[in-house]
Amino acid sequence: MFYNNSILIQLKKKFKKKNVRIEGIVKKSEKGFGFLETDSKNSYFIPPKKIKKVMHGDKIIAKIGFSKDRQIVIPEKLIDSFLKIFIGRLQKINQQLFIIPNYAFLKEYIPCTFLINQISDFKSGDWFIAKLTKHKLDDDLFHAELIKFIAKKEDPFTPWWITLSKYDLKKEEPKINIDNISFINSNKRLDLTDLSFITIDNNNTKDIDDALFIRKISNNFELIVAISDTTSFIHVNSELDEIASKRAFTNYLPGFNVPMLPRILSEDLCSLKPHKKRPVLACKMIISETGEIKKNSKFFLAWIQSKEKLSYKNVSDWLENKSNWLPSTENIIQQLKFLHQLCISRIKWRKKYALIFPERLEYKFHLSSNGEVLRISNDTRRIGHKIVEECMISANLTAAKLLSQKDGFGLYNNHSGFDESSAKQISLLLEKNNIFLTSKEILTLRGFRTLYKILRKKKYKYLSSRIRKFQSFSEFSFNPNPHYALGFKKYATWTSPIRKYGDIINHRFLKSMILNETPIAVKKNTLKKISSQKRKHRLSEREIEDLLYIQYFQKNDFKNEILKSEIIDISRGGIRAKLLDTGANIFIPNSYIHNIRSELELNTEEGLVYINNKIFYKISDIIFVQIKDIRMDTKSIIAKIIKN
């Protein structure tokens, strides 16, 4: 009916005369249809024959045209290819090699060649990193070169290797000649091997970097936190130092970890194993019975010998009277009793003078030897975990106070709370809930503490969820600024040097103060590398977990079960929630919230769902759902709300 439309005819003449060209991003649907989306959010159809010349995500210039009664665009020039260096799956067809990109909307079979001389060793289904060398808009064909092998098709841990390769993360421990590892001692190292130091960790932990000793002196606790002295093995600008600085962290993934340091160091020479003499950097703190850390804390070098490796579970069970397990000696019994008392007093002190956020469930994947999820458990942190946590926080807080006394000393963990624009919105939001804090107050550390102490109350759960979205992220800095989320004026970690390069940096600063030496300057790009690696580790862990959840729910039929979940976000398309038993994120599309779309309204800003103008659901609500679909391509679990 538009064929003889006068307006359309004029439009055709206008575009034909001017040869109008536009710039945009190619978008392909699951069914293969293609569109060009511009910055102004306009969308133009790309004909089926022309869509074959471009890929989903390509940035191109296209010419506007018409096909019968429809406006179309014809791709003409490539600005930026979506594919550059990418991960893909090899496919052999009639002796010809193709690589299929590992993206949901990229279905292209791209002809490829090897840059490596092992062509006979590989087969269809094997995974590679590839480089796109030719694009159809430039060369009339797609072509790629395989530049690095990732994994064999039959390797059960292929998803791990793919994800690590995606983020350019290592999948194995560092390789180094053991003869190149040397220990440099100090004549200022005290011998504390006679003291009853203990370690508390998971049963299977091998990279043990902290040990504790405590005694009572008058009405105070004397706590010594001893941390593995890794910097006596990792010398500045050495090969080991370069390796550690690039990796920045030990990567803890479901099923295994990829260490920052060679295991000969992380799990042996530097690990505070029981009954082994080990070098440490130690902090002695005097802490009152009310949990206050006195000003006469001291850092020093020492030798210790852990008397026993204890587990979080056994310690927690014993202190909570839940098992028959007993510490092996009276000395260790006394250590645990004092540590328990100290922990309780420090928790009370932090609740009063700093911040403690509500406990959250922690989830753990239990995998078979070939990477299959056997079960997923959940638990809250128990008293054994809290004892270690409070000791480490105390030691880190003490280090920050000492390091900040000298300009240019220390790598700090900062958290700025809210920015000014967010603070104004939060203040108005609080006022609606009869909480009166000005935006200026909220921007101060004291005001931030006051706010979250109010929000701890159960009745403010929804409000707390909304406000948390305004929070900034923590960041690393060489400037000692407040850590709002912890409620401290300054905070610097040094208690995990086996696992974190930032803690190695702080060890060097602390040791230079102990030995009265000038510290070696930290390289300019170190901060950027640490921050980047932290982000990559977080993303890689999340991707692997998402995949394991998909596999777990595919293997186990949950479609007839009613599952408890908590709403964590509301978008235009539906509700995002977390299954409380497993920790899996699910998506509930609009059609599974309410079957009459015109009666449904999702307010993303307020985190509310309205049906017929009445609030039915909000962020933080506990709801019950049923699994309806599991989509491997988008790694999403689709669910439906069950009315109770």
* pLDDT tens track for 427-446: 999 999 999 999 999 999 99
Burial class (CB in 10 A: 0-12, 13-18, 19+), 103: middle
Distance, in Å, from the CA atom of 341 to the CA atom of 349, rounded to the nearest integer, reads: 12
pLDDT over 80 (residue 452): yes
Q: How high is the pLDDT of residue 440?
A: 96
pTM (predicted TM-score): 0.90
Instruction: Please compute the mean of the pLDDT values over residues 162-183 and round it to a whole number.
Output: 92
Per-residue pLDDT band for 189 (boundaries 50, 70, 90) equals very high
* pLDDT tens track for 300-328: 999 999 999 999 999 999 999 998 899 99
Q: How far is CA 105 from CA 20, 53, 573, in A?
A: 28, 15, 20
207 tagged catalytic:
yes
Distance, in Å, from the CA atom of 76 to the CA atom of 54, rounded to the nearest integer, reads: 10
Q: How high is the pLDDT of residue 180?
A: 85
What is the SS3 assignment for 246?
Answer: helix
Q: What is the dihedral of CA 606, 610, 616, 622, to 10 degrees?
A: -40
pLDDT over 90 (residue 223): yes
Q: How high is the pLDDT of residue 16?
A: 55
Q: How high is the pLDDT of residue 627?
A: 95
Q: How high is the pLDDT of residue 40?
A: 85
Distance, in Å, from the CA atom of 303 to the CA atom of 288, rounded to the nearest integer, reads: 26
Distance, in Å, from the CA atom of 294 to the CA atom of 117, rounded to the nearest integer, reads: 65
pLDDT over 90 (residue 604): yes
312 tagged catalytic:
yes
Higher pLDDT, 535 or 31: 535
pLDDT over 70 (residue 295): yes
Main-chain phi, psi angles of 242, to 5 degrees: -65, -45
What is the SS3 assignment for 358?
Answer: coil
Per-residue pLDDT band for 519 (boundaries 50, 70, 90) equals confident
Whole-number percent of the chain with pLDDT over 90: 80
pLDDT over 60 (residue 379): yes
Per-residue pLDDT band for 8 (boundaries 50, 70, 90) equals low
Per-residue pLDDT band for 393 (boundaries 50, 70, 90) equals very high
pLDDT over 80 (residue 31): no
Instruction: Please compute the mean of the pLDDT values over residues 402-414 and round it to a whole number.
Output: 93
Phi/psi region, residue 387 (left: phi>0; alpha: psi -120 to 50; beta: rest), is: alpha
Q: How high is the pLDDT of residue 633?
A: 76
Write down the mean pLDDT value for the chain: 92
Instruction: Please compute the mean of the pLDDT values over residues 238-253 and round it to a whole number.
Output: 95
Catalytically annotated residue among 58, 126, 209, 229: 209
pLDDT over 70 (residue 5): no
Q: How high is the pLDDT of residue 19?
A: 74
201 tagged catalytic:
yes
Distance, in Å, from the CA atom of 502 to the CA atom of 410, rounded to the nearest integer, reads: 9
Instruction: Please compute the mean of the pLDDT values over residues 210-225 and round it to a whole number.
Output: 96
Closest CA to 575 of 507, 503, 482, 640: 640
Q: How high is the pLDDT of residue 119?
A: 57
Q: How high is the pLDDT of residue 179?
A: 86
The residues, ordered by sequence, that sit 6+ positions from 497 with a Cβ below 8 Å of its Cβ are: 209, 227, 228, 229, 230, 231, 270, 503, 504, 507
Per-residue pLDDT band for 118 (boundaries 50, 70, 90) equals low
Higher pLDDT, 70 or 115: 70
Q: How high is the pLDDT of residue 105?
A: 80
* pLDDT tens track for 454-511: 999 989 999 999 999 999 999 999 999 999 999 999 999 999 999 999 999 999 999 9
Catalytically annotated residue among 247, 278, 499, 508: 499
Higher pLDDT, 110 or 119: 110
Higher pLDDT, 168 or 122: 168
Q: How high is the pLDDT of residue 2?
A: 46
Domains identified in the chain and CATH numbers: 6-80 (2.40.50.140), 85-154 (2.40.50.640), 178-413+484-544 (no CATH), 417-471 (no CATH), 558-641 (2.40.50.140)
pLDDT over 90 (residue 30): no
pLDDT over 70 (residue 120): no
Catalytically annotated residue among 126, 207, 503, 546: 207
Instruction: Please compute the mean of the pLDDT values over residues 76-94 and round it to a whole number.
Output: 93
Q: How high is the pLDDT of residue 550?
A: 94
Catalytically annotated residue among 201, 229, 503, 621: 201
Distance, in Å, from the CA atom of 123 to the CA atom of 644, rounded to the nearest integer, reads: 52
Q: How high is the pLDDT of residue 487?
A: 96
Pairing mode, strands 190-191 and 298-305: parallel
Main-chain phi, psi angles of 579, to 5 degrees: -70, 125
Per-residue pLDDT band for 607 (boundaries 50, 70, 90) equals very high
209 tagged catalytic:
yes
Q: How high is the pLDDT of residue 1?
A: 44
Distance, in Å, from the CA atom of 362 to the CA atom of 250, rounded to the nearest integer, reads: 19
Instruction: Please compute the mean of the pLDDT values over residues 126-152 and round it to a whole number.
Output: 93
